[in-house]
Structure 1
Protein backbone atom coordinates (compact mmCIF):
# COMPACT_ATOMS: atom_id res chain seq x y z
CA UNK A 1 0.00 0.00 0.00
CA UNK A 2 1.35 3.42 -0.95
CA UNK A 3 1.24 5.71 2.06
CA UNK A 4 1.32 9.48 1.66
CA UNK A 5 3.89 10.79 4.14
CA UNK A 6 4.95 14.22 5.33
CA UNK A 7 7.81 14.50 7.78
CA UNK A 8 8.11 17.04 10.55
CA UNK A 9 10.03 17.08 13.84
CA UNK A 10 9.14 15.89 17.31
CA UNK A 11 12.28 16.55 19.28
CA UNK A 12 14.76 14.38 17.36
CA UNK A 13 12.20 11.83 16.14
CA UNK A 14 10.54 11.79 12.71
CA UNK A 15 6.77 11.66 12.63
CA UNK A 16 4.37 11.03 9.76
CA UNK A 17 0.94 12.35 8.89
CA UNK A 18 -1.75 9.74 9.37
CA UNK A 19 -3.62 9.84 6.06
CA UNK A 20 -3.92 6.87 3.71
CA UNK A 21 -3.38 7.50 0.01
CA UNK A 22 -6.42 6.36 -2.00
CA UNK A 23 -6.06 2.81 -3.27
CA UNK A 24 -8.37 0.11 -4.56
CA UNK A 25 -7.02 -2.46 -2.08
CA UNK A 26 -9.10 -1.36 0.92
CA UNK A 27 -12.08 -3.68 0.71
CA UNK A 28 -11.62 -5.76 3.86
CA UNK A 29 -9.79 -5.89 7.16
CA UNK A 30 -9.07 -9.21 8.90
CA UNK A 31 -8.29 -7.59 12.27
CA UNK A 32 -10.68 -4.70 12.96
CA UNK A 33 -9.11 -3.32 16.16
CA UNK A 34 -6.93 -0.28 16.83
CA UNK A 35 -3.31 -1.05 17.60
CA UNK A 36 -3.78 -2.10 21.21
CA UNK A 37 -7.27 -0.64 21.65
CA UNK A 38 -10.79 -1.83 20.81
CA UNK A 39 -13.83 -1.34 18.58
CA UNK A 40 -16.82 0.98 19.00
CA UNK A 41 -20.46 -0.04 18.61
CA UNK A 42 -21.98 3.46 18.39
CA UNK A 43 -20.57 6.87 17.43
CA UNK A 44 -23.17 8.98 15.55
CA UNK A 45 -20.72 11.90 15.28
CA UNK A 46 -18.00 9.87 13.52
CA UNK A 47 -17.30 10.61 9.85
CA UNK A 48 -15.43 8.62 7.21
CA UNK A 49 -13.55 10.81 4.71
CA UNK A 50 -13.06 9.66 1.10
CA UNK A 51 -10.98 10.97 -1.80
CA UNK A 52 -12.06 9.89 -5.29
CA UNK A 53 -14.21 7.18 -3.70
CA UNK A 54 -11.44 5.64 -1.57
CA UNK A 55 -11.25 5.88 2.22
CA UNK A 56 -8.38 8.11 3.29
CA UNK A 57 -9.10 9.72 6.69
CA UNK A 58 -11.35 9.88 9.72
CA UNK A 59 -13.27 12.90 11.00
CA UNK A 60 -16.30 14.18 12.93
CA UNK A 61 -19.55 15.81 11.91
CA UNK A 62 -19.94 19.00 13.95
CA UNK A 63 -23.14 20.38 12.36
CA UNK A 64 -25.66 19.29 9.73
CA UNK A 65 -23.44 20.32 6.80
CA UNK A 66 -19.97 20.45 8.36
CA UNK A 67 -17.28 17.79 8.94
CA UNK A 68 -14.05 18.47 10.81
CA UNK A 69 -10.94 16.57 9.69
CA UNK A 70 -7.23 17.18 9.02
CA UNK A 71 -5.92 19.62 6.42
CA UNK A 72 -3.49 17.07 4.99
CA UNK A 73 -6.52 14.90 4.11
CA UNK A 74 -7.76 17.42 1.55
CA UNK A 75 -7.93 16.19 -2.02
CA UNK A 76 -10.12 16.46 -5.11
CA UNK A 77 -13.50 14.74 -5.43
CA UNK A 78 -14.04 14.40 -1.70
CA UNK A 79 -17.04 12.80 0.04
CA UNK A 80 -17.96 11.52 3.48
CA UNK A 81 -20.04 8.83 5.13
CA UNK A 82 -21.76 9.40 8.47
CA UNK A 83 -24.00 7.30 10.70
CA UNK A 84 -22.24 3.95 10.82
CA UNK A 85 -19.24 2.60 12.71
CA UNK A 86 -18.55 0.27 9.76
CA UNK A 87 -16.27 1.61 7.04
CA UNK A 88 -18.11 1.85 3.72
CA UNK A 89 -21.54 2.09 5.36
CA UNK A 90 -23.66 5.02 6.48
CA UNK A 91 -25.18 8.06 4.81
CA UNK A 92 -23.04 9.40 1.97
CA UNK A 93 -22.65 13.11 1.20
CA UNK A 94 -20.56 15.01 -1.31
CA UNK A 95 -18.18 17.79 -0.25
CA UNK A 96 -18.92 21.11 -1.94
CA UNK A 97 -16.23 23.28 -0.33
CA UNK A 98 -13.17 22.95 1.90
CA UNK A 99 -11.49 25.34 4.33
CA UNK A 100 -8.21 24.92 6.21
CA UNK A 101 -6.20 26.38 9.05
CA UNK A 102 -3.10 24.78 10.55
CA UNK A 103 -3.70 21.00 10.21
CA UNK A 104 -7.47 21.31 10.62
CA UNK A 105 -9.96 21.31 7.76
CA UNK A 106 -13.68 21.96 7.47
CA UNK A 107 -15.68 20.16 4.77
CA UNK A 108 -18.99 21.69 3.70
CA UNK A 109 -21.45 18.96 2.75
CA UNK A 110 -23.87 19.11 -0.16
CA UNK A 111 -26.50 17.32 1.93
CA UNK A 112 -27.67 18.17 5.44
CA UNK A 113 -27.34 15.24 7.86
CA UNK A 114 -29.30 15.04 11.10
CA UNK A 115 -27.44 13.18 13.86
CA UNK A 116 -25.68 13.78 17.19
CA UNK A 117 -22.82 16.15 16.41
CA UNK A 118 -19.39 16.21 18.00
CA UNK A 119 -19.23 18.89 20.75
CA UNK A 120 -16.14 21.09 20.52
CA UNK A 121 -13.89 22.17 23.40
CA UNK A 122 -12.79 25.74 24.09
CA UNK A 123 -9.71 24.77 26.11
CA UNK A 124 -6.95 22.20 25.80
CA UNK A 125 -6.91 19.13 28.07
CA UNK A 126 -4.55 19.23 31.05
CA UNK A 127 -1.19 17.49 30.92
CA UNK A 128 -1.52 14.10 32.58
CA UNK A 129 -5.17 13.63 31.62
CA UNK A 130 -6.42 10.45 29.94
CA UNK A 131 -8.16 11.13 26.63
CA UNK A 132 -9.96 8.93 24.08
CA UNK A 133 -9.03 8.80 20.38
CA UNK A 134 -11.14 7.36 17.53
CA UNK A 135 -10.59 6.39 13.91
CA UNK A 136 -10.67 3.80 11.14
CA UNK A 137 -6.88 3.71 10.80
CA UNK A 138 -4.63 0.77 10.01
CA UNK A 139 -4.69 -2.01 12.62
CA UNK A 140 -0.91 -2.62 12.67
CA UNK A 141 2.13 -0.59 11.68
CA UNK A 142 2.64 -2.35 8.34
CA UNK A 143 0.83 -4.88 6.17
CA UNK A 144 -2.69 -4.05 7.41
CA UNK A 145 -5.77 -2.46 5.89
CA UNK A 146 -7.78 0.33 7.52
CA UNK A 147 -10.14 -0.96 10.21
CA UNK A 148 -13.55 -2.16 9.04
CA UNK A 149 -15.10 -1.04 12.35
CA UNK A 150 -14.42 2.22 14.18
CA UNK A 151 -11.61 1.92 16.75
CA UNK A 152 -10.88 3.66 20.02
CA UNK A 153 -7.93 3.83 22.39
CA UNK A 154 -6.94 5.68 25.55
CA UNK A 155 -3.94 8.03 25.49
CA UNK A 156 -2.32 10.27 28.12
CA UNK A 157 -1.49 13.92 27.43
CA UNK A 158 2.23 14.58 27.94
CA UNK A 159 2.54 18.13 26.62
CA UNK A 160 2.11 20.31 23.56
CA UNK A 161 3.92 20.54 20.24
CA UNK A 162 3.10 21.53 16.63
CA UNK A 163 0.90 19.82 14.07
CA UNK A 164 1.89 19.03 10.46
CA UNK A 165 1.35 22.69 9.48
CA UNK A 166 2.93 24.37 12.49
CA UNK A 167 -0.21 24.94 14.57
CA UNK A 168 -0.53 24.02 18.23
CA UNK A 169 -0.98 20.30 18.85
CA UNK A 170 -1.72 18.09 21.85
CA UNK A 171 1.00 15.48 22.37
CA UNK A 172 0.01 12.18 23.97
CA UNK A 173 1.40 8.71 24.54
CA UNK A 174 -0.35 5.35 24.53
CA UNK A 175 -2.22 3.99 27.51
CA UNK A 176 -3.77 1.07 25.64
CA UNK A 177 -3.35 2.00 21.98
CA UNK A 178 -1.95 4.30 19.29
CA UNK A 179 -3.20 6.20 16.26
CA UNK A 180 -1.81 5.32 12.83
CA UNK A 181 -2.49 5.66 9.08
CA UNK A 182 -6.15 6.42 8.38
CA UNK A 183 -6.75 7.93 11.82
CA UNK A 184 -5.83 11.37 10.42
CA UNK A 185 -8.59 13.86 11.06
CA UNK A 186 -10.14 11.68 13.75
CA UNK A 187 -11.03 13.13 17.14
CA UNK A 188 -9.45 13.21 20.57
CA UNK A 189 -11.98 13.65 23.39
CA UNK A 190 -11.57 14.87 26.97
CA UNK A 191 -14.56 15.03 29.33
CA UNK A 192 -16.96 14.46 26.44
CA UNK A 193 -15.65 17.32 24.28
CA UNK A 194 -13.50 17.10 21.16
CA UNK A 195 -10.15 18.67 21.98
CA UNK A 196 -8.04 17.49 19.04
CA UNK A 197 -7.82 16.43 15.40
CA UNK A 198 -5.31 13.68 14.50
CA UNK A 199 -2.30 15.09 12.66
CA UNK A 200 0.96 13.13 13.12
CA UNK A 201 2.39 10.09 14.91
CA UNK A 202 5.82 8.53 15.37
CA UNK A 203 4.82 4.94 14.55
CA UNK A 204 5.63 3.80 18.08
CA UNK A 205 3.81 5.40 21.00
CA UNK A 206 3.33 9.13 20.43
CA UNK A 207 0.59 10.97 18.55
CA UNK A 208 -0.05 14.68 17.99
CA UNK A 209 -3.55 16.12 17.56
CA UNK A 210 -4.21 19.65 16.29
CA UNK A 211 -5.76 21.78 19.03
CA UNK A 212 -9.48 22.47 18.57
CA UNK A 213 -9.35 25.20 21.23
CA UNK A 214 -6.66 27.22 19.47
CA UNK A 215 -8.62 27.02 16.20
CA UNK A 216 -12.03 27.48 17.82
CA UNK A 217 -12.68 31.04 16.60
CA UNK A 218 -11.74 30.04 13.03
CA UNK A 219 -14.13 27.04 13.16
CA UNK A 220 -16.89 29.36 14.34
CA UNK A 221 -16.17 31.99 11.70
CA UNK A 222 -16.32 29.46 8.84
CA UNK A 223 -19.07 27.09 9.95
CA UNK A 224 -21.03 29.05 12.54
CA UNK A 225 -20.50 26.21 15.03
Structure 2
Protein backbone atom coordinates (compact mmCIF):
# COMPACT_ATOMS: atom_id res chain seq x y z
CA UNK A 1 0.00 0.00 0.00
CA UNK A 2 1.41 3.39 -0.96
CA UNK A 3 1.94 5.94 1.78
CA UNK A 4 1.66 9.51 0.51
CA UNK A 5 2.89 12.78 2.01
CA UNK A 6 0.18 14.63 3.91
CA UNK A 7 0.45 17.54 1.50
CA UNK A 8 -0.92 20.87 2.62
CA UNK A 9 -3.75 22.75 1.00
CA UNK A 10 -1.40 25.39 -0.33
CA UNK A 11 0.72 22.67 -1.89
CA UNK A 12 -2.02 21.13 -3.98
CA UNK A 13 -0.92 23.02 -7.07
CA UNK A 14 2.81 22.56 -6.45
CA UNK A 15 3.05 18.99 -5.27
CA UNK A 16 6.71 18.56 -6.23
CA UNK A 17 7.87 21.37 -3.94
CA UNK A 18 6.72 19.84 -0.67
CA UNK A 19 7.14 16.13 -1.38
CA UNK A 20 10.16 14.40 0.09
CA UNK A 21 12.41 13.05 -2.68
CA UNK A 22 11.72 9.41 -1.78
CA UNK A 23 7.98 9.83 -1.31
CA UNK A 24 5.32 8.19 -3.46
CA UNK A 25 3.23 10.31 -5.86
CA UNK A 26 0.57 12.43 -4.23
CA UNK A 27 -3.11 11.55 -4.17
CA UNK A 28 -5.59 13.61 -6.22
CA UNK A 29 -5.17 17.32 -5.57
CA UNK A 30 -7.51 19.06 -3.15
CA UNK A 31 -7.65 19.99 0.51
CA UNK A 32 -8.18 17.08 2.98
CA UNK A 33 -8.64 17.20 7.15
CA UNK A 34 -9.03 14.23 9.49
CA UNK A 35 -11.49 11.86 7.83
CA UNK A 36 -14.03 10.64 10.39
CA UNK A 37 -13.48 11.33 14.08
CA UNK A 38 -15.06 14.41 15.63
CA UNK A 39 -14.54 18.09 16.35
CA UNK A 40 -12.71 19.62 19.31
CA UNK A 41 -14.13 22.30 21.63
CA UNK A 42 -10.87 23.39 23.28
CA UNK A 43 -7.20 23.01 22.37
CA UNK A 44 -5.08 25.90 23.73
CA UNK A 45 -1.93 24.16 22.45
CA UNK A 46 -3.14 23.88 18.85
CA UNK A 47 -1.32 25.82 16.12
CA UNK A 48 -2.70 26.39 12.63
CA UNK A 49 0.31 26.78 10.33
CA UNK A 50 0.08 29.35 7.53
CA UNK A 51 2.25 29.80 4.45
CA UNK A 52 2.07 33.22 2.77
CA UNK A 53 -1.08 33.87 4.79
CA UNK A 54 -2.94 30.70 3.76
CA UNK A 55 -3.63 27.66 5.92
CA UNK A 56 -1.24 24.88 5.05
CA UNK A 57 -0.71 22.51 8.00
CA UNK A 58 -1.42 21.69 11.62
CA UNK A 59 0.98 21.92 14.56
CA UNK A 60 1.44 22.37 18.30
CA UNK A 61 2.99 25.01 20.52
CA UNK A 62 5.61 23.41 22.78
CA UNK A 63 7.07 26.53 24.46
CA UNK A 64 6.33 30.29 24.47
CA UNK A 65 8.30 30.92 21.26
CA UNK A 66 8.26 27.50 19.58
CA UNK A 67 5.80 25.61 17.38
CA UNK A 68 6.36 22.01 16.27
CA UNK A 69 5.13 20.93 12.83
CA UNK A 70 6.31 18.89 9.82
CA UNK A 71 9.32 19.82 7.72
CA UNK A 72 7.39 19.41 4.47
CA UNK A 73 5.03 22.16 5.65
CA UNK A 74 7.75 24.83 5.55
CA UNK A 75 7.50 27.03 2.46
CA UNK A 76 7.31 30.76 1.84
CA UNK A 77 6.59 33.24 4.62
CA UNK A 78 5.38 31.28 7.64
CA UNK A 79 3.05 32.33 10.45
CA UNK A 80 0.81 30.59 12.98
CA UNK A 81 -2.51 31.00 14.76
CA UNK A 82 -2.28 29.59 18.28
CA UNK A 83 -4.91 28.74 20.85
CA UNK A 84 -8.07 28.57 18.75
CA UNK A 85 -9.88 25.48 17.48
CA UNK A 86 -10.99 27.63 14.53
CA UNK A 87 -8.14 27.97 12.04
CA UNK A 88 -9.56 31.23 10.62
CA UNK A 89 -10.23 33.25 13.79
CA UNK A 90 -9.55 33.56 17.52
CA UNK A 91 -6.43 32.86 19.50
CA UNK A 92 -3.34 34.88 18.65
CA UNK A 93 -1.25 35.07 15.49
CA UNK A 94 2.53 35.26 15.27
CA UNK A 95 5.00 35.45 12.42
CA UNK A 96 7.79 32.87 12.24
CA UNK A 97 11.32 34.30 12.35
CA UNK A 98 13.36 31.11 11.90
CA UNK A 99 12.93 27.39 11.29
CA UNK A 100 15.04 24.37 12.24
CA UNK A 101 14.41 20.94 10.72
CA UNK A 102 15.35 17.32 11.34
CA UNK A 103 13.89 14.49 9.27
CA UNK A 104 10.19 15.43 8.77
CA UNK A 105 10.00 17.58 11.91
CA UNK A 106 10.27 21.37 11.96
CA UNK A 107 10.64 23.77 14.87
CA UNK A 108 9.42 27.29 14.10
CA UNK A 109 10.57 30.16 16.30
CA UNK A 110 7.91 32.82 16.80
CA UNK A 111 8.49 36.57 16.62
CA UNK A 112 7.21 36.99 20.19
CA UNK A 113 6.08 34.66 23.00
CA UNK A 114 2.58 33.22 23.33
CA UNK A 115 1.16 32.57 26.78
CA UNK A 116 -1.00 29.46 26.68
CA UNK A 117 -1.01 25.78 27.66
CA UNK A 118 1.85 24.00 25.89
CA UNK A 119 1.90 20.35 24.91
CA UNK A 120 3.91 17.83 26.92
CA UNK A 121 6.43 16.05 24.71
CA UNK A 122 7.03 12.35 25.24
CA UNK A 123 10.47 10.78 25.60
CA UNK A 124 9.10 7.27 24.97
CA UNK A 125 7.42 5.44 22.12
CA UNK A 126 3.76 4.52 22.50
CA UNK A 127 3.20 0.78 22.97
CA UNK A 128 2.27 -1.23 19.90
CA UNK A 129 -1.50 -1.86 19.97
CA UNK A 130 -2.09 1.20 22.14
CA UNK A 131 -4.95 3.57 21.32
CA UNK A 132 -3.71 7.08 20.46
CA UNK A 133 -5.38 10.35 19.48
CA UNK A 134 -4.56 12.47 16.43
CA UNK A 135 -5.54 16.09 15.75
CA UNK A 136 -5.64 18.36 12.72
CA UNK A 137 -7.52 20.66 10.36
CA UNK A 138 -7.00 18.44 7.32
CA UNK A 139 -9.53 17.26 4.74
CA UNK A 140 -12.64 15.40 5.84
CA UNK A 141 -12.81 13.16 2.77
CA UNK A 142 -10.33 11.67 0.30
CA UNK A 143 -10.91 14.31 -2.39
CA UNK A 144 -13.29 17.12 -3.27
CA UNK A 145 -13.70 18.53 0.25
CA UNK A 146 -12.41 21.67 1.86
CA UNK A 147 -10.32 21.73 5.00
CA UNK A 148 -12.14 21.59 8.29
CA UNK A 149 -12.55 25.03 9.83
CA UNK A 150 -12.75 23.50 13.32
CA UNK A 151 -9.99 21.29 14.72
CA UNK A 152 -10.78 17.58 14.47
CA UNK A 153 -9.63 14.53 16.38
CA UNK A 154 -9.72 10.77 15.83
CA UNK A 155 -8.51 7.64 17.57
CA UNK A 156 -5.99 5.30 15.96
CA UNK A 157 -4.19 2.09 16.90
CA UNK A 158 -0.38 1.89 16.87
CA UNK A 159 0.93 -0.97 14.72
CA UNK A 160 4.67 -0.14 14.67
CA UNK A 161 7.15 2.33 16.13
CA UNK A 162 9.90 1.51 13.66
CA UNK A 163 8.82 2.81 10.24
CA UNK A 164 10.07 5.98 8.53
CA UNK A 165 8.67 9.45 7.93
CA UNK A 166 8.82 11.36 4.62
CA UNK A 167 12.49 12.23 5.17
CA UNK A 168 13.77 8.91 6.52
CA UNK A 169 13.44 9.56 10.25
CA UNK A 170 11.90 7.05 12.62
CA UNK A 171 8.13 7.15 12.71
CA UNK A 172 5.09 5.64 14.40
CA UNK A 173 2.59 3.82 12.20
CA UNK A 174 -1.07 3.56 13.16
CA UNK A 175 -4.32 2.40 11.64
CA UNK A 176 -7.79 3.87 11.78
CA UNK A 177 -10.15 3.21 14.68
CA UNK A 178 -12.74 5.95 14.13
CA UNK A 179 -10.83 8.25 11.78
CA UNK A 180 -7.60 8.79 9.86
CA UNK A 181 -5.25 11.61 8.87
CA UNK A 182 -5.12 13.21 5.43
CA UNK A 183 -4.04 16.41 3.68
CA UNK A 184 -3.83 19.46 5.94
CA UNK A 185 -3.22 17.25 8.99
CA UNK A 186 0.53 17.36 8.25
CA UNK A 187 2.48 18.53 11.29
CA UNK A 188 -0.40 17.77 13.63
CA UNK A 189 0.11 15.79 16.83
CA UNK A 190 -0.39 12.22 17.90
CA UNK A 191 -0.93 11.80 21.65
CA UNK A 192 -0.56 8.83 23.99
CA UNK A 193 -1.40 9.21 27.70
CA UNK A 194 -1.59 12.99 27.37
CA UNK A 195 1.85 13.49 25.80
CA UNK A 196 2.72 14.16 22.16
CA UNK A 197 4.45 11.16 20.63
CA UNK A 198 4.30 11.99 16.93
CA UNK A 199 4.11 14.61 14.16
CA UNK A 200 1.96 13.82 11.10
CA UNK A 201 4.10 13.02 8.06
CA UNK A 202 2.55 10.56 5.58
CA UNK A 203 -0.71 8.66 5.06
CA UNK A 204 -2.67 6.63 2.54
CA UNK A 205 -5.89 8.60 3.04
CA UNK A 206 -8.01 5.65 4.12
CA UNK A 207 -6.43 3.75 7.01
CA UNK A 208 -2.68 4.12 7.61
CA UNK A 209 -0.68 7.10 8.86
CA UNK A 210 2.98 7.54 9.80
CA UNK A 211 3.90 10.17 12.38
CA UNK A 212 7.50 11.31 12.87
CA UNK A 213 8.62 10.13 16.31
CA UNK A 214 9.02 12.75 19.03
CA UNK A 215 11.06 10.36 21.19
CA UNK A 216 13.49 9.68 18.33
CA UNK A 217 14.03 13.43 17.92
CA UNK A 218 13.73 14.41 21.58
CA UNK A 219 17.36 15.43 22.14
CA UNK A 220 17.31 17.60 19.02
CA UNK A 221 14.07 19.33 20.11
CA UNK A 222 15.64 20.12 23.48
CA UNK A 223 18.84 21.43 21.89
CA UNK A 224 16.87 23.82 19.66
CA UNK A 225 13.84 24.84 21.73
CA UNK A 226 15.09 24.15 25.25
CA UNK A 227 12.16 21.90 26.21
Please give the TM-score of this superposition, normalised by the length of structure 2.
0.88
Are the aligned partners of 2:5 and 2:203 in contact in 1 as well (CA < 8 Å)?
yes
1:129 counterpart = 2:130: yes
Over 3 Å off, 4+ runs = none
Distance in 1, matches of 2:122 and 2:212, equals 12
What residue number does 2:226 align with? 224
Shift of 1:33: 7.7
Separation in structure 1 between the aligned mates of residue 5 and residue 93 of structure 2, nearest angstrom: 25
Partner of 2:39: 39
How far apart are residue 19 of structure 1 and its match?
2.7
Query: Unmatched 5+ residue regions in structure 1?
Result: 1-12, 24-31
Any idea what SS the aligned residue of 2:2 has? strand
Alpha-carbon shift at residue 191 of structure 1 (Å): 0.2
Q: 1:22 matched to which residue of 2?
A: 10
The answer on whether the counterparts of 2:33 and 2:147 sit within 8 Å (CA) in structure 1 is no
Give the Å deviation of 1:94. 0.1
Structure 1 residue 42 displacement after superposition: 0.3
The equivalent of 1:27 in structure 2 is: none
Could you tell me how far 1:21 is from its partner in structure 2? Answer: 3.9
The 3 A distance-change label for structure 1 pair 101 and 176 is same
Offset at residue 163 of structure 1 (A):
0.2
Contact 2:119–2:195, Cα closer than 8 Å, also in 1 = yes
Alignment of 1:1-225 (within 5 A): 13-22=1-10, 34-89=34-89, 90-159=91-160, 160-225=162-227
- RMSD across aligned C-alpha pairs, in angstroms? 1.5
> Per the alignment, in what secondary structure is the counterpart of residue 14 of structure 1?
coil
Q: Deviations over 1:66-113 (max 9, x none)?
A: 000000001120000001100112211000000000100000000210
Structure 2 CA distance for aligned equivalents of residues 81 and 111 of structure 1: 13
SS of residue matched to 1:61: strand
What displacement does 1:16 show? 1.4
CA contact (8 A) 1:131 1:157 kept: yes
Q: TM-score, normalised by structure 1?
A: 0.89
Tell me, in whole angstroms, the C-alpha distance in 2 between the residues paired with 1:33 and 1:52: 20
Q: Distance in 2 between matches of 1:52 and 1:151?
A: 23
Could you tell me how far 1:173 is from its partner in structure 2? 0.1
Instruction: Tell me if structure 1 keeps the 8 A contact 2:136–2:185.
Output: yes
Q: Residue 15 of structure 1: CA displacement?
A: 1.5
Quote the Cα distance in structure 1 between the aligned partners of 2:136 and 2:187.
Answer: 8
Contact kept in structure 1, 2:33 and 2:181, CA below 8 Å: no
5+ residue gaps, structure 2, are 12-31
